[in-house]
Amino acid sequence: DIQMTQSPSSVSASVGDRVTITCRASQDVSYKLAWYQHKPGKAPKVLIYEASTLQTGVPLRFSGSGSGTDFSLTISSLQPEDFATYYCKQAKSFPHTFGQGTRLEIK
């Protein structure tokens, strides 16, 4: 199985800050990686798919990059609604696997 490792596990930041979350795969997943935002009591929401494609309706402050084994999600200017937990997930091979999550908290 492909292991996904995110860092950091949690981060504190302020509105307006730039934040980057990284995700490393234990083997090559090509571009088959997506980023999800999850808020308590809500359905997870896809932000980025195929490593760098912004899902329709997602604000332009979100961007993704990487391929192979190393990926990143950047939020260019944090907004109050961005405080949530973020997960990467590989879809290169089954079983699909998520990273352990990065909790983004208000400083």
Partner 1 sequence: QVQVVESGGGVVQPGGSLRLSCAASGFTFNNFGMQWVRQVPGKGLEWVAVVSQYGSLQHYADSVKGRFTISRDNSKNTVSLQMNSLRADDTGVYYCAKEGTEHISSYLDYWGQGTLVTVSS
Q: How far is the CB of 49 from partner 1 (least distance, A)?
A: 4
What tokens were used for 79? Answer: 């907004």
Question: Does residue 65 interact with partner 1 by CB under 8 A?
Answer: no
What tokens were used for 73? Answer: 């999600």
What tokens were used for 25? Answer: 């795969």
Amino acid sitting at position 47 = L
What tokens were used for 82? Answer: 């961005």
Q: Helix (H, G, I), strand (E, B), or coil: what is residue 2?
A: coil
| Residue in the block written with tokens 């999850």 | 38
What is the pattern of x (binds partner 1, CB under 8 A) and - over residues 30-59? --x-x-x-x---xxxxx--xx----x----
Interface with partner 1 by CB under 8 A: which range of 13-21, 58-66, 70-78, 86-94? Answer: 86-94
Q: Helix (H, G, I), strand (E, B), or coil: what is residue 93?
A: coil
Nearer to partner 1, 18 or 39 (CB): 39
Q: Where does this chain bind partner 1 (CB under 8 A)?
A: 1, 32, 34, 36, 38, 42-46, 49-50, 55, 85, 87, 89, 91-101
